[in-house]
Amino acid sequence: MFGGVFARGSAIIDDRAWLQAMLDAEAGLARALERAGLAPAGAGEAVTREARANDFDIAELGELSALTGNPVPGLARALAVKVGGQQGRAVHRGATSQDILDTAAMLLARTAIDAARADLTAAAAAAAALATEHRTTPMIGRTLLQQAVPVTFGAVAAGWLAALDAAITGLAETRRTRLAVQFGGAAGTLASLGPDGIRVKAMLADELQLADPPVPWHTERLRIIDVGVAMARVTAALSKIARDVTLLAQTEVAEVAEGGGGPDGGGGPDGGAAPRRGGSSAMPNKSNPVAAVAILGCAKQGPGLLATLLASAEQEYQRAAGAWHAEWQPYGHLLQLAVSAAAWARDLLTNLKVDKPRMAANLTEAGGLPLAERVTALLRGSLGAPVAHDLVAVAAARSASSGIPLRDVLLATPEIEDKLAAAGITPAQVEQALDPASYLGASQAFITGALTAHEAGSGA
Provide the mean pLDDT of the chain. 93
From 52, 192, 280, 281, active-site residue: 280
280 is catalytic: yes
Distance CA 38, CA 207 (A): 15
Query: What is the model's pLDDT at position 272?
Result: 53
Least confident of 43-52, 172-181, 259-268, 405-414: 259-268
pLDDT digits (tens, 9 = 90+) for 34-53: 999 999 999 999 999 999 99
Which distant-in-sequence residues (6+ apart) come within 8 Å of 455 by Cβ?
Answer: none
The full DSSP string for 317-354 is TTS-SSHHHHHHHHHHHHHHHHHHHHHHHHHHHHS-EE
- Which residues is 180 bridged to in the sheet? 211
Is 22 within 8 Å of 107 (Cβ atoms)? no
pLDDT above 90 as % of the chain? 87
Distance CA 320, CA 327 (A): 11
Is 445 within 8 Å of 403 (Cβ atoms)? no
Is 152 within 8 Å of 138 (Cβ atoms)? yes
Q: How confident is the model at residue 63 (pLDDT cuts 50, 70, 90)?
A: very high
Query: What is the model's pLDDT at position 421?
Result: 87
Which distant-in-sequence residues (6+ apart) come within 8 Å of 341 by Cβ?
Answer: 234, 235, 238, 239, 294, 295, 298, 299
Smallest Cα–Cα separation from 448: which of 154, 160, 229, 250? 154
Query: What is the model's pLDDT at position 312?
Result: 98
Query: What is the model's pLDDT at position 268?
Result: 43
Query: What is the model's pLDDT at position 266?
Result: 40
Smallest Cα–Cα separation from 226: which of 161, 163, 180, 182? 180
pLDDT digits (tens, 9 = 90+) for 133-157: 999 999 999 999 999 999 999 999 9
pLDDT exceeds cutoff 50 at 84: yes
Query: What is the model's pLDDT at position 277?
Result: 62
CB burial string 231-252: b at 16+ within 10 A, e below: bbbbbbbbbebbebbbebbeee
Query: What is the model's pLDDT at position 383?
Result: 84
From 89, 199, 319, 398, active-site residue: 319
- Dihedral in degrees, nearest 10, Cα atoms 419, 421, 427, 428: -120
Per CATH, the number for 97-357 is 1.20.200.10
Question: What's the per-residue H, E or C state across 133-167?
Answer: HCCCCEEEEEECCEEEEEEEHHHHHHHHHHHHHHH
Query: What is the model's pLDDT at position 269?
Result: 43
Whether the CA torsion 10, 13, 16, 21 is positive or negative: it is: positive
pTM: 0.92
pLDDT digits (tens, 9 = 90+) for 378-393: 888 888 899 889 999 9
Is 70 within 8 Å of 97 (Cβ atoms)? yes
16 is catalytic: no
Distance CA 302, CA 240 (A): 14
pLDDT digits (tens, 9 = 90+) for 319-337: 999 999 999 999 999 999 9
The full DSSP string for 195-248 is GGHHHHHHHHHHHHT-B--SS--TT--HHHHHHHHHHHHHHHHHHHHHHHHHHH
Which distant-in-sequence residues (6+ apart) come within 8 Å of 100 by Cβ?
Answer: 22, 25, 26, 29, 72, 75, 76, 92
pLDDT digits (tens, 9 = 90+) for 395-440: 999 999 999 999 999 998 887 888 888 888 899 999 999 999 999 9
